[in-house]
Amino acid sequence: MELTKNITLGIYLPGETSIHRLDPRTKIIATTLLIILLLFIRSYEAYGVFFIFTAAIIYFAGIPPRFALCGLKPMLPVLILMWVFQLFLYSTPDAEVLFSWFIFTATDTGLHMGNMITLRVLFLFTVTTMLTLTTSIVSLTDGLESLLNPLRKIGLPSQELVMTMVIALRFVLILAEELDKIVKAQMARGVAFDRGNFIQKTRKIFPVFLPLFINAFKRAEELIVAMEARSYSGGKGRTKMKTLHMGRVDLAAGGIMILYAALMVFILFSVSPRI
């Protein structure tokens, strides 16, 4: 039972394309805008335009399409199941019946609802994957920190929050090693993790969880002492070795995003929604 072998947290594909070179702030804002647009799309025409735009981003970022979509594979069974649920269970009183079988009735509103939601999930996934594929974790946190900075004025400790995220990401791998040791130690003591029914399997998580949490908290106490000894004081007056700069490419990207968003809003208002 190798638990930690397949950890691929936010895979990043290094590259030299214009998408890679964009300021992380530009990319975060653009992704947020795309996600907001997606939440409002309710017609096939709008999805068509969205598809063209997403495909263009994947093309310009030089990401193999296979790579951009591979994360979807484990989700596929659930996605299909959800589509089937919508098809048979969602309907409105004036819906047209497509076919019935046994106690199940498929209606056209159910079909559209299923399609819309499946497409939304597919695109949400692709858009967020594109962000992590083209941006390293370090520049993502830098960008996030810089974007959240204005919120300091209303009392939100942005730098500290980003520090929390960084600690979380760093400690995943450290705790993964720890977890591996605990699991092996318990297996050496004769705990068979892969055997037994649901209740027996559930009971076996206790001898793993307790040492994992206790060790994590021991490490936390050590880290607190270490940080306090070095007088860590959050964001006040802290400077960076690498500062972020917006360039011409960011200006161009911003312009494209505004035009695209305007086009999408126009489509959203002019095409009658399917659901």
Partner 1 sequence: MNLSVRKIVISGILGAISILLGVTRLGFIPVPTPAGHATIMHIPVILGGILEGPVVGLITGVIFGLFSFLQPGAPFFADPLVSVLPRLFIGVVAFLVYYSTKRINKALACILAGALGSITNTVLVLGMATWRGYLPPEVSISIGVLHGVPELVIAAILTVILVKGIQRIRTTED
Residue 164 binds partner 1, judged by CB under 8 A: yes
Using CB under 8 A as the binding rule, the residues of this chain from 18 to 47 that contact partner 1 are: 35, 39
Q: Which of 185, 227, 259, 262 binds partner 1 (CB under 8 A)?
A: 227
Measure the CA angle with vertex 112, ends 106 and 118; round to 5°. 105
Q: How far apart are the first and last CA of the chain?
A: 46
As measured in angstroms, the least distance from the Cβ of 79 to partner 1 is: 5
Site string for partner 1, 132-151 (x = CB under 8 A): x-------------------
As measured in angstroms, the least distance from the Cβ of 61 to partner 1 is: 18
Q: Which of 124, 137, 147, 148 binds partner 1 (CB under 8 A)?
A: 124
- Choose between 166 and 191: whose C-beta lies nearer to partner 1: 166
Residue 207 binds partner 1, judged by CB under 8 A: no
Residue 103 binds partner 1, judged by CB under 8 A: no
Measured from the Cβ of residue 84, the count of other Cβ atoms closer than 10 Å reads 14
What is the spatial distance between Cα 143 and Cα 32, in angstroms, rounded to a whole number? 13
As measured in angstroms, the least distance from the Cβ of 71 to partner 1 is: 8
Q: Residue count at the site for partner 1 (CB under 8 A)? A: 71
Instruction: Quickly list H helices, 135-272.
Output: 137-148, 158-188, 198-203, 206-229, 248-270
Q: Which of 21, 181, 218, 238 binds partner 1 (CB under 8 A)?
A: 218
Residue 97 binds partner 1, judged by CB under 8 A: no
The three-state secondary structure class of 106 is: strand
Angle between helical axes of 44-60 and 108-134 (0-180°, round to 10): 20
As measured in angstroms, the least distance from the Cβ of 266 to partner 1 is: 24
- CA distance to 15, 35, 71, 199, 233, per residue, from 22 (Å): 11, 19, 24, 50, 31
Residue 269 binds partner 1, judged by CB under 8 A: no
The three-state secondary structure class of 47 is: helix
What is the spatial distance between Cα 23 and Cα 21, in angstroms, rounded to a whole number? 6
Q: Which of 14, 93, 155, 190 binds partner 1 (CB under 8 A)?
A: 155
Residue 185 binds partner 1, judged by CB under 8 A: no
